[in-house]
């Protein structure tokens, strides 16, 4: 089931109402059944994969706590991680590595005898696998007690608001919340619903609307001029942000309605003044996961500069691969690693040059930094969106080698695109700079608040795209 | 606890008020948009509205963009001495044509209908069903529209209870075409004025021959269309208008010919007509430009003249009469 489907609009109030009606001791069961139903909408049989990893990690967690011998503990952790990564390897990466092996063997004059798997990627596999791995790692480190209640542990992995596209939660935050009794709280409900409304706006009014233009241009890029490709790339940058952060908003909002508080996943990333700041604002639950479980164990900042750069580059390459089994994602990750290393290497020089030019700080300097960060990120998004490296390079050629022509498409749709971006910009600027004039959804006057909710609902109904289909990040 | 209960009560009262306000605003906005929608003076909906609400012409042309751009209503009118209106619409297929034909028949029965089709008219195409949402504003006109929209998604009809949802994605266009008379449409005919760049166009097609699957919905729609013509004694011509590249190697094309043949409907395919292989007549490889459209309309007028039944509405479907077939 996807959040922007009509089925979810029926599912959500029913589950929420039942949640408050059912006694606390049965709520975990209700949420688990609801989460199974939610997941089984995609491909029912794949729930067995989830149960496989749940059983392994649940058992591993209990034994990790029982065993005192460090070697045995390590072995248990490795077994659990291998099972999780093994599932990812089979379902997500096998065909990719096999295709590359075929290419290599062909180049050497051999044929690859290993057949390709005819399987579909289970939806949100990377998300719930990473969430499950964080549990066993935290139990191993002694930061989290092993969960004895199998149903609650299963719910930790399967909690439907964040099951298929995050935020990737930590056991310390989510597990205790299943045990706390949540009473109906009007504030939580209204804040949650507001958050969901904003998420729907981002998804159907902005992301899916922009995707029509992006798809038209990217699928036929040799026919388009440079200005069109630049605009489509910028539109994609906004599209992917609204698609993913919209999902997170709906996830956080729908959990909040029931009294659960999920971690924030986005903090207006396009206001970042550097790539490192971008990564502290974009997909926060994943970047902190990599920081806690990969980067720091590799040595973190307490290593030589050369090793630090190597570690950073490796982490971003893995992050790219996490997003998808395609070279385009690996290049996307590598590009971000490269940006970060360049940023660190040139830090002193840039600071000195900026202060010489009188651009050390201030509005203009911020504007330049934000613009340059958006430029770098947008270049990387071209690789992320492209279906192949060939297409990505073709698009980059279209950006940097001037070709005349500008495509608008259906004028009224283009106008919707611009209006949607303007509305988003207004909302984000207000959030970023804490501007409290023009309060709508949070106005103290109830009449204005209600008019704002209704206005937003009608904007979604009149301008949203309801055939936009799945969220981009589901495929990961 | 008391405070919590008070807050909850306040919340539910406000929620109820909001739902009531939502329904009221939705109904009001729906009526407001319906007025502007039905009074558009230009654009594609103005053409569709004419067919649905005001059609009074003798000849009705229906089909996709190729119908809209290829059939000059004035030439048909002068050539056949029958008034004509072109109700073709960009990007729409047989399901749309059948739906608005049904709506037109509720108030007027044309004497002749020209249905322009493509070779893949009966092929399964998911996007064709997705585009049926554009029929939502006509939902209350006939149950047929509901049946068509259901083909897209069975939940679409539930969503359409929201009046504003019926005009999703249309607002700017409705006001634009209400206040501004734009475009060069004449009696529904919308000629294209550019000339195809031959150097960038190939006659080859990437189509895999006979790989398409037949859509049962589209076959039913075609049968419904033909049966309505029979019932209302309308003379039906089914044409595949010219295109620069040949895309006829499709199962849909074979099925189309077979259905027309078994129903004794005049069917003619101009795809491979040598006369229309001149690139000068094209805007792109699927569409004739204005010059090509005029020549093509002259050709079909001559073709129809020879086959038009005397009363242009009665004898064609008589049992003893074998329709003329040219291909």
For B246-270, the pLDDT digits (tens) are 777 778 889 999 999 999 999 999 9
Hey, is A474 helix, strand or coil?
helix
The pLDDT-based confidence of B209 (bands split at 50, 70, 90) is confident
- CB of B115 closer than 8 Å to CB of B259: no
Hey, is B257 helix, strand or coil?
helix
A465 touches chain B (CB under 8 A): yes
% residues pLDDT > 70 (chain A): 97
- Phi, then psi, of A147 in degrees rounded to 5: -80, 125
Q: Residue A153 has which token pair?
A: 């542990």
Q: Which of A27-41, A75-89, A185-199, A461-475 has the lowest mean pLDDT?
A: A461-475
Give dist(CA B239, CA A133) in Å, integer. Answer: 62
C-alpha A65: how far from chain center = 31
Nearest CA distance, B251 vs chain A (angstrom) = 27
Provide the pLDDT for residue B155.
80
By C-alpha distance, which of A214, A238, A272 is closest to A378? A238
- Taking the whole predicted model, whether its pTM rises above 0.95 is answered as no
A443 touches chain B (CB under 8 A): no
Could you give the C-alpha distances from A278 to A245, A435, B209, B229, in angstroms and in order?
A: 14, 22, 50, 63
Instruction: Tell whether the model's pLDDT for residue A473 goes beyond 60.
Output: no
Q: Residue A143 has which token pair?
A: 């930061």
Give dist(CA B263, CA B281) in Å, integer. Answer: 33
Average pLDDT over chain A, rounded to an integer: 90
Say yes or no for a CB contact (<8 Å) between A454 and B171. Answer: no
Give dist(CA B125, CA B93) in Å, integer. Answer: 10
Instruction: Tell whether the model's pLDDT for residue B316 goes beyond 50.
Output: no
H helical segments located in B180-215: none
By C-alpha distance, which of B266, B252, B215 is closest to B120? B252
A448 touches chain B (CB under 8 A): no
Provide the pLDDT for residue B313.
44
- The whole-number average pLDDT for the span A85-113 is 89
% residues pLDDT > 70 (chain B): 90
Give dist(CA B151, CA B157) in Å, integer. Answer: 10
Q: Which residues of A are catalytic?
A: 323
By C-alpha distance, which of B194, B182, B197 is closest to B290? B194
Burial code of B254-278, b = ≥16 C-beta within 10 A, e = fewer?
ebbbebbeebbbbbbbbbeeeebbe
B29 touches chain A (CB under 8 A): yes
Give dist(CA B186, CA B297) in Å, integer. Answer: 14
Within 8 A of B171 by CB-CB distance, chain A residues are 462-463
Interface mutation target, options B32, B127, B169, chain A, most CBs of A under 10 Å: B169
Give dist(CA A472, CA A474) in Å, integer. Answer: 6
- The whole-number average pLDDT for the span B217-243 is 93
Instruction: Tell whether the model's pLDDT for residue A274 goes beyond 80.
Output: yes
What ipTM was predicted for this assembly? 0.77
Hey, is B113 helix, strand or coil?
strand
Q: Residue B249 has which token pair?
A: 């190697």
C-alpha B222: how far from chain center = 12
For A436-464, the pLDDT digits (tens) are 777 788 888 888 889 999 999 999 999 98
Q: What is the CB-side half-sphere exposure of residue B134 using CA atoms within 13 A?
A: 22
- CB of A206 closer than 8 Å to CB of A426: no
Nearest-Cα residue of chain A relative to residue B13: A186
For A388-397, the pLDDT digits (tens) are 999 999 999 9
For A284-329, the pLDDT digits (tens) are 999 999 999 999 999 888 889 899 999 999 999 999 999 988 899 9
B21 touches chain A (CB under 8 A): yes
How many CB atoms are located within 10 Å of the residue B152 CB?
A: 20
Q: Are strands B282-284 and B287-288 parallel, antiparallel or unpaired?
A: antiparallel
B165 touches chain A (CB under 8 A): yes
Length of chain A: 476
Orientation angle between helical segments A208-218 and A411-433, nearest 10 degrees: 120
Q: Residue A419 has which token pair?
A: 């209006």
Domains and CATH numbers, chain B: 41-152+183-200+209-314 (3.40.50.1110)
Within 8 A of A185 by CB-CB distance, chain B residues are 4, 7
- CB of A311 closer than 8 Å to CB of A286: no
H or E, element range at B94: helix B94-105
For A240-260, the pLDDT digits (tens) are 999 999 999 999 999 999 999
Within 8 A of A190 by CB-CB distance, chain B residues are 11
Provide the pLDDT for residue B326.
39
Within 8 A of B167 by CB-CB distance, chain A residues are 462
Q: Residue B64 has which token pair?
A: 């996709």
Instruction: Tell whether the model's pLDDT for residue A262 goes beyond 90.
Output: yes
Say yes or no for a CB contact (<8 Å) between B169 and A465. Answer: yes
Q: Residue B238 has which token pair?
A: 């089914």
Give dist(CA B95, CA A50) in Å, integer. Answer: 42
Q: Which of A104-113, A426-435, B110-119, B149-158 has the lowest mean pLDDT?
A: B149-158
């Amino acid at each position: 089931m996807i959040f922007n489907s009509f089925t979810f609009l029926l599912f959500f109030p029913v589950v929420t109402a039942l949640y408050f009606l059912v006694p606390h001791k049965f709520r975990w069961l209700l949420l688990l059944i609801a989460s199974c139903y939610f997941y089984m909408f995609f491909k029912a049989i794949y729930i067995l994969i989830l149960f496989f990893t749940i059983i392994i990690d649940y058992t591993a967690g209990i034994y990790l706590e029982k065993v005192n011998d460090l070697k045995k503990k390590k072995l248990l952790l490795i077994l659990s991680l291998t099972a999780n990564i093994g599932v990812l390897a089979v379902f997500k990466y096998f065909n990719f590595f096999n295709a590359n092996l075929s290419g290599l063997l062909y180049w050497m004059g051999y044929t690859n005898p290993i057949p390709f798997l005819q399987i579909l990627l289970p939806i949100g596999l990377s998300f719930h696998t990473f969430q499950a791995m964080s549990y066993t790692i935290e139990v191993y480190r002694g930061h989290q007690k092993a969960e004895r209640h199998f149903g609650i542990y299963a719910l930790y992995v399967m909690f439907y608001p964040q099951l298929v596209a995050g935020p990737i939660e930590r056991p310390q935050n989510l597990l205790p919340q299943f045990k706390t009794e949540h009473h109906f709280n009007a504030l939580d409900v209204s804040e949650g619903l507001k958050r969901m409304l904003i998420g729907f706006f981002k998804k159907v009014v902005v992301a899916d609307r922009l995707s029509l233009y992006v798809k038209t241009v990217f699928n036929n890029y040799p026919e388009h001029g440079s200005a069109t490709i630049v605009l489509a790339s910028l539109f994609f940058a906004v599209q992917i942000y609204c698609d993913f952060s919209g999902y997170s908003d709906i996830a956080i909002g729908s959990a909040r309605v029931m009294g659960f508080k999920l971690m924030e996943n986005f903090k207006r990333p396009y206001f970042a003044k550097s790539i490192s700041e971008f990564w502290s604002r974009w997909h926060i639950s994943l970047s902190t996961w990599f920081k806690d479980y990969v980067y720091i164990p590799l040595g973190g900042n307490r290593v030589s500069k050369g090793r630090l750069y190597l570690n950073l580059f490796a982490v971003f390459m893995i992050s790219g691969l996490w997003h998808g089994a395609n070279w385009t994602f690996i290049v996307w990750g590598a590009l971000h690693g490269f940006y970060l290393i360049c940023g660190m290497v040139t830090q002193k020089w840039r600071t000195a040059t900026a202060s010489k030019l009188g651009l050390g700080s201030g509005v203009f300097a911020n504007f330049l930094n934000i613009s340059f960060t958006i430029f770098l990120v947008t270049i990387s998004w071209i690789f992320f969106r492209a279906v192949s490296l060939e297409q990505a390079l073709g698009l980059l050629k279209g950006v940097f080698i001037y070709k005349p022509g500008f495509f608008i498409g259906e004028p009224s749709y283009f106008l919707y695109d611009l209006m949607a971006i303007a509305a988003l910009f207004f909302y984000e600027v207000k959030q970023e700079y804490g501007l409290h004039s023009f309060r709508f959804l949070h106005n103290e006057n109830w009449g204005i608040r209600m008019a704002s909710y209704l206005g937003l609902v009608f904007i979604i109904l009149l301008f949203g795209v309801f055939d936009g289909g799945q969220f981009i990040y589901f495929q990961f | 606890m008391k405070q919590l209960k008070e807050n909850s009560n306040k919340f539910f009262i406000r929620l109820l008020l909001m739902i009531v306000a939502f329904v009221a605003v939705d109904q009001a906005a729906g009526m407001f948009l319906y007025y502007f929608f039905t009074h558009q003076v230009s654009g594609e909906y103005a053409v569709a509205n004419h067919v649905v609400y005001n059609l009074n012409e003798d000849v009705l042309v229906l089909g996709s963009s190729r119908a809209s751009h290829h059939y000059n209503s004035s030439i048909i009118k002068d050539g056949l001495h029958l008034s004509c209106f072109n109700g073709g619409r960009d990007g729409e297929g047989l399901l749309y044509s059948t739906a608005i034909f049904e709506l037109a028949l509720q108030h007027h029965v044309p004497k002749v209908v020209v249905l322009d089709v493509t070779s893949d008219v009966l092929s399964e195409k998911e996007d064709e069903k997705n585009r049926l949402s554009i029929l939502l504003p006509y939902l209350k006109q006939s149950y047929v529209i509901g049946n068509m929209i259901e083909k897209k998604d069975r939940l679409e009809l539930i969503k359409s209870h929201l009046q504003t949802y019926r005009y999703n994605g249309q607002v700017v266009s409705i006001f634009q075409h209400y206040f501004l008379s734009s475009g060069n449409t004449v009696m529904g005919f919308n000629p294209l004025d550019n000339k195809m760049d031959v150097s960038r166009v190939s006659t080859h097609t990437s189509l895999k021959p006979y790989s398409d699957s037949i859509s049962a919905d589209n076959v039913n729609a075609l049968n419904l269309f033909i049966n309505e013509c029979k019932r209302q004694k309308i003379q039906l011509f089914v044409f595949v208008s010219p295109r620069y590249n040949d895309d006829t190697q499709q199962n849909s094309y074979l099925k189309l010919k077979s259905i027309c043949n078994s129903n004794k409907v005049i069917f003619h395919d101009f795809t491979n007509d040598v006369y229309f292989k001149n690139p000068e007549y094209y805007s792109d490889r699927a569409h004739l430009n204005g010059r090509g459209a005029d020549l093509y309309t002259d050709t079909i007028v001559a073709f129809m003249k020879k086959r038009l039944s005397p009363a242009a509405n009665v004898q064609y479907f008589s049992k003893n009469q074998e329709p003329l077939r040219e291909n």
